[in-house]
Copies of this chain bind each other. A is one copy, B any other.
Amino acid sequence: MKFSNMFIPTTKEAPKDATLASHQYLVRGGFVNQVGAGIYNFMPLGKIVLEKIRAIVKEEMDNSGANEVQMGFVTPTSLWEESGRANTMGPELLKFKDRKNASFVLSPTNEEALVDMVNNRITSYKDLPINLYQINTKFRDEARPRFGLMRGREFLMKDAYSFHDSQEDLVREFNLMEETYKKVYERLGLEFRVVEADSGAIGGSGSKEFMILANSGEDTIVVCDSCDYGANIEAATRKVLKKEPLQTTEIKKVHTPNLKSIEEVTNFLEVDPYYSIKAVIKKAIFEDKTQTVVFFVRGTDELEETKACGAVGAIELEDATEQDLKDANLLAGFCGIVNFPKDIKVVFDKELKDENSVVCGANEVDYHLTGVDLTKFDLEFADLIAVKHGDTCACCGGILSHTKGIEAGHIFQLGTKYSSAMNATFLDANGKAQPFIMGCYGIGVSRLVAAVIEQNHDEKGCIWTKATAPFMVDIIVSNAKKDEELEVGVDIYNQLKQAGIETILDDRKNARFGFKMGDFELIGFPFAVVVGKKLKDGMVEIVNRKTLEKTEVLITEVVSKLEELIK
């Protein structure tokens, strides 16, 4: 392809709101342009990258034996009412009416539509398992679309849905999908981690996320320095640090004027903060109500909100306001379990189960209690804590640390959540109707375009991996008005094409060398061949975009040299 025949509108100006490198460079490099909040067009170079990623995803999904389908993007709201998600998804689910006043949604995901497709078409266990996938546009009306392609409203996603007659078979497919996904990210040339994850609004039991490692990632991942363990902070666990239990004592009320923080209180009382508990007071939003909830964690821990939200089955948690505290008869800084208001929901972190002598608030201003024996209360426990940097790995005893990742894939063991709700069944070997056991599996295809750049860029621009580069080589003809330069460029271009190397020829007559070099660096083709002043010695220059190293080679050897570099 020739530069002069392609629409590649590079620019020096990044969008004002672009904080991420991928957002800046994809716009500046002429890959994408914004049409509305969270909605992007892919211009020619961006479309090539997107299609390369799509092709790899498709190939690996086909290799796994999954069948490709294509669902309607517009789906009737009635399907979402059957599953109950018409309400629970909230305003991210964009609903609208057609000219006949029928209600539809723009699909953000397609569990319901797939259950509807399979229901009554697969009737026997003999026709199971099946895994159906599509690579299609999705829409999620995000409250704050941002970061360019990273968190858009309209995006391209690969979504797959599998149907099984047993949990074991689901687990087999789930593991196959994990392997399939690993192949995808490996082929894309990305550094990634498979981590344990929270299932969130999609539901189901087990789920894993595929995290592209990048400092700018929105997700915090907990990884072990010694073994393979990795988990989203929302689902991470650790080896419990168990200190010697204290001797039980009488409950004592202590005057702690103006001492509210764990540090202040335990310092004052000369107690190891490990033996204190702290209350985190939240407003939990449910489908049909709003309710104040108190979560107790160890004084040395922090609450993990997604875990806490899941523990009470809420849609989301908000910080409680002063008015909420007043209404609930709760005192910030002095909240404890003794004389706790009866009508307020309370959950304890499960690591506190055996504590027999802790410090906590006295539910009275300026007072705390010591010697509180939690085993004497009838309490509800759940995993509530955020695993910390330096905690111990439950798998191997190694040290856990935090890193940042971009969620680029998520696989779920759904079970019968959707098939039961929608009454979708098959006949098992005994002729009995059973709800389908389901898995679902997503890859953010357009998000991956950005993720590649978050992981691979420098201060000059993009650095595409070999599998994602729109072209492998950019032949820069320094001065395309000079026939001899242009001819050599065209000649190398033809040779590379014949060698099967995807090449673009920068033959623009109205652009100077420096401008072309700037475009090469900004766009980020893996290699450039500069045809310029060394021509009189029969030489051209190969530039490696990643290292920015320059190597002079004989024109006669440029193809073999590039073949070697690309290997």
Contact = CB atoms under 8 A, between A and B. Distances in A.
A347 to B, nearest CB: 31
A76 B154 CA distance: 13
Main secondary structure of the interface of A (DSSP, over half): mixed
Given A36-B75, A39-B72, A143 B91 contact: no
Interface in A119-141: 121-122, 124, 126, 130, 132, 134, 136-137, 139, 141
Given A122-B9, A126-B510, A132-B7, A41 B72 contact: yes
Given A36-B75, A37-B102, A70 B42 contact: yes
Interface string A4-20: 01110100000000000
A45 to B, nearest CB: 9
B41 A70 contact: yes
Contact of A94 (B46, B96, B132, B137): B96
A7 B67 contact: yes
Given A7-B67, A69-B47, A117-B43, A91 B99 contact: yes
A445 B5 CA distance: 26
A33 to B, nearest CB: 6
Interface string A440-475: 000000000000000000000000000000000000
A14 to B, nearest CB: 15
A60 interface: no
A492 interface: no
A5 B418 CA distance: 23
Given A44-B132, A96-B96, A98-B141, A35 B67 contact: no
20 contacts: A5-B67, A7-B121, A7-B122, A30-B121, A35-B79, A35-B116, A36-B76, A36-B104, A40-B72, A41-B71, A42-B71, A47-B69, A50-B70, A73-B139, A73-B154, A94-B98, A96-B96, A98-B141, A98-B153, A136-B137
